[in-house]
Amino acid sequence: MKLDETTSFPILEAKNKRSIKAKVVIGCDGSNSVVANFLQLNPTKALGPRVVRGFTSYPSGHGFPPEFSRIKIGNIVCGRIPVTDKLVVWLTSLHHNSQDSKISKDKEAIARFALESIDEFPEDWKEMVKNCDLSFIYMSNLRYRPPWEILFGKFRRNTVTVTGDAMHLMGPYIGQGACSALEDAVVLGRCLGKKLGQDRGLDEVCRIRDIEESIDEYVRERRKRLVALSTQTYLTGLFVESSSGFMKMMLLLLLTILFYDQIRHTSFDCGLL
């Protein structure tokens, strides 16, 4: 990506080397965002554990309640959510120090490794992982953008900005990554719409300044919410991963002081489009 020297609008380069001249670029390209890189944001940081996600079918029904269940034994956290009465999606963290770099593309090895990690879990959890659909099992390296980078980050360069994980990648500890990406979309759409008008769109008369101001308004509006979410996620992650009782107590205290209602973030209203 680069900026047009005459117009200052962004130019993207596709894989086939074709150039795309754009008025606005909204980078929603996830954790390894090329657009975040263009904005000169720091690369995201690695979190300790790797996570495996998978689906398991239960032809005769699973019988689990329609809610997210999560259990933790030692350092391993495993969660499951019913998708239908015969299908469950689940995730599990893996042992920290395992030499698992070679298995990231080997689906059978990933399943075996996930099963080994939950060796001490109840039978129904082990059965779930054992009987998973190997074509839909994935291992991810958890990464995050620290809350202080979200507080101070420069999320606009000319008419280029970012949304979703590209902007505010978080660990999955409070399950808000995708939800907040959707909020970004609503707020950015509203800010652009307000300045540019419903009928004008990004036509010739649209001034670069209007777009920049819209993006600035979007970043301003989102920053407070995202700093709060990523801080809560960060502290919750430290709490979950910590093995020291004292550290856990301090983190719990901090979480209680800062986020006295631990699920308040789930009722956030980002407004209408």
Ligand X SMILES: Cc1cc2nc3c(=O)[nH]c(=O)nc-3n(C[C@H](O)[C@H](O)[C@H](O)COP(=O)(O)OP(=O)(O)OC[C@H]3O[C@@H](n4cnc5c(N)ncnc54)[C@H](O)[C@@H]3O)c2cc1C
Q: How deeply is 40 buried, as exposed, middle or buried, from its count of CB atoms within 10 A (0-12, 13-18, 19+)?
A: exposed
The amino acid occupying position 51 is V
Give how many residues touch ligand X by CB under 6 A.
18
- What burial letters (b/e) apply to 223-245, b meaning 16+ CB within 10 Å? bebbbbbbbbbbbbbbbbbeeee
Using the minimum distance from each CB to ligand X, give the nearer residue, 114 or 206.
114
Identify residues 13-32 at the interface with ligand X (CB under 6 A): 28-30
Among 51, 211, 226, 238, binds ligand X (CB under 6 A): 51
The window from 101-109, 113-121, 178-186, 222-230 that contacts ligand X (CB under 6 A) reads 178-186
Task: Compute φ and ψ for 204, nearest 5 degrees.
Answer: -55, -35
Identify residues 121-140 at the interface with ligand X (CB under 6 A): 140
Among 145, 165, 251, 259, binds ligand X (CB under 6 A): 165
Q: How far is the CB of 181 from ligand X (least distance, A)?
A: 4
Q: 87-93 and 138-144: which strand pairing?
A: unpaired
Q: How many CB atoms lie within 10 A of CB 48?
A: 14
Tokens of 259: 């986020």
Return the closest-CA partner of residue 238 out of 75, 69, 101: 75
Q: How far is the CB of 175 from ligand X (least distance, A)?
A: 3
Contact characters 54-93, ligand X, x per CB under 6 A = -------------------------------------x--
Using the minimum distance from each CB to ligand X, give the nearer residue, 117 or 206.
117
C-alpha 227/C-alpha 219 separation (Å) is 12
The window from 102-110, 116-124, 160-168, 247-255 that contacts ligand X (CB under 6 A) reads 160-168
C-alpha 247/C-alpha 133 separation (Å) is 38
Using the minimum distance from each CB to ligand X, give the nearer residue, 174 or 238.
174
Q: Is 34 in the site for ligand X (CB under 6 A)?
A: yes
C-alpha 55/C-alpha 62 separation (Å) is 12
Among 56, 161, 176, 236, binds ligand X (CB under 6 A): 176
Q: Is 175 in the site for ligand X (CB under 6 A)?
A: yes
- The residues binding ligand X (CB under 6 A) are 28-30, 34, 51, 53, 91, 140, 164-166, 172, 175-179, 181
